[in-house]
Amino acid sequence: MEHCDVIIIGGGSAAFEAAVAAHEQGARKIVMLEKAPEAEYGGNARYSGTGFRFWHRGADEIRAFLPDMDDSLFASLEIPPYTEEEFAADLERMTLSRMDPLLARTLVGQSNAAVHWMKDAGIRWEVLKEHARLGNKRYFERGIVIHVAGGGVGQLEQWRRIATDKNIQIRFSSPVSAIHGNMHRVEGVHVCTAVKEYDLGAPAVIACAGGFQASAEMRARYLAGNADFVKVRGSRHDTGEVLNSLVAIGAATAGQWQSGHMSPIDARAPDFETPQHADGRGNAQSRYDYPFGITVNALGQRFFDEGEAQHSYTYAKTGRSVLAQPGAIAWQIYDQTGIRHHRYPHHAATYEESSDIRELAAKAGLPPEVLLHTIAEFNAACRDDVQFDPSRQDGKSTHGLLIPKSNWANRIETPPFRAYPVTCGITFTFGGVKVNEKAQVLNSLRQPIKGLYASGDILGLFFHNYPAFTGQTRNAVFSRLAGVHAAREH
Ligand SMILES: Cc1cc2nc3c(=O)[nH]c(=O)nc-3n(C[C@H](O)[C@H](O)[C@H](O)COP(=O)(O)OP(=O)(O)OC[C@H]3O[C@@H](n4cnc5c(N)ncnc54)[C@H](O)[C@@H]3O)c2cc1C
DSSP state letters, 32-71: EE-SS-GGGTTGGGGG---EEE--B--HHHHHTT-TTS-H
Binding site membership of 319 for ligand 1 (Cβ less than 6 Å): no
Mapping DSSP to helix (H, G, I), strand (E, B) and coil, where does residue 185 land? strand
Ligand 1: centre distance to CA 235 (Å)? 7
* Minimal-distance CA residue to ligand 1 atom 14: 48
How far from 281 is each of 69, 123, 126, 475, CA to CA, in Å?
18, 16, 11, 19
Measured from the Cα of 53, ligand 1's closest atom is 11
Please write the tens of the pLDDT for every residue from 198-225.
Answer: 999 999 999 999 999 999 999 999 998 8
Binding site membership of 315 for ligand 1 (Cβ less than 6 Å): no
Domains contained in the chain, CATH given: 2-213+430-487 (3.50.50.60), 261-425 (3.90.700.10)
Within 13 Å and on the Cβ side, how many CA atoms surround 417? 26
Reduced DSSP (H G I as helix, E B as strand, rest coil) percent helix, strand, coil of the chain, to 5: 35, 25, 45
Task: Per-residue pLDDT tens, the chain, 490 aa: give them.
Answer: 999 999 999 999 999 999 999 999 999 999 999 999 999 999 999 999 999 999 999 999 999 999 999 999 999 999 999 999 999 999 999 999 999 999 999 999 999 999 999 999 999 999 998 888 888 899 999 899 999 999 999 999 999 999 999 999 999 999 999 999 999 999 999 999 999 999 999 999 999 999 999 999 999 999 988 898 999 999 999 999 999 999 999 999 999 999 999 999 999 999 999 887 776 666 788 899 999 999 999 999 999 999 999 999 999 999 999 999 999 999 999 999 999 988 776 666 789 999 999 999 999 999 999 999 999 999 999 999 999 999 899 999 999 999 999 999 999 999 999 999 999 999 999 999 999 999 999 999 999 999 999 999 999 999 999 999 999 999 999 999 999 999 999 7
Model's pTM, two decimal places?
Answer: 0.96
| Res 279: pLDDT | 67
Ligand 1: centre distance to CA 215 (Å)? 14
Ligand 1: centre distance to CA 480 (Å)? 16
DSSP lists the bridge partners of residue 283 as 276
Q: Which of 48, 190, 242, 462 to mutate to test the pocket of ligand 1 (most atoms within 8 A of CB)?
A: 48
Please write the tens of the pLDDT for every residue from 143-173.
Answer: 999 999 999 999 999 999 999 999 999 999 9
d(CA 309, CA 108): 21
DSSP lists the bridge partners of residue 186 as 181
Binding site membership of 187 for ligand 1 (Cβ less than 6 Å): no
Binding site membership of 312 for ligand 1 (Cβ less than 6 Å): no
| Res 60: pLDDT | 96
Measured from the Cα of 152, ligand 1's closest atom is 17
| Res 470: pLDDT | 98
How many other C-beta atoms can be found within 10 angstroms of the C-beta atom of residue 71? 7
Mapping DSSP to helix (H, G, I), strand (E, B) and coil, where does residue 189 land? strand
| Res 284: pLDDT | 82
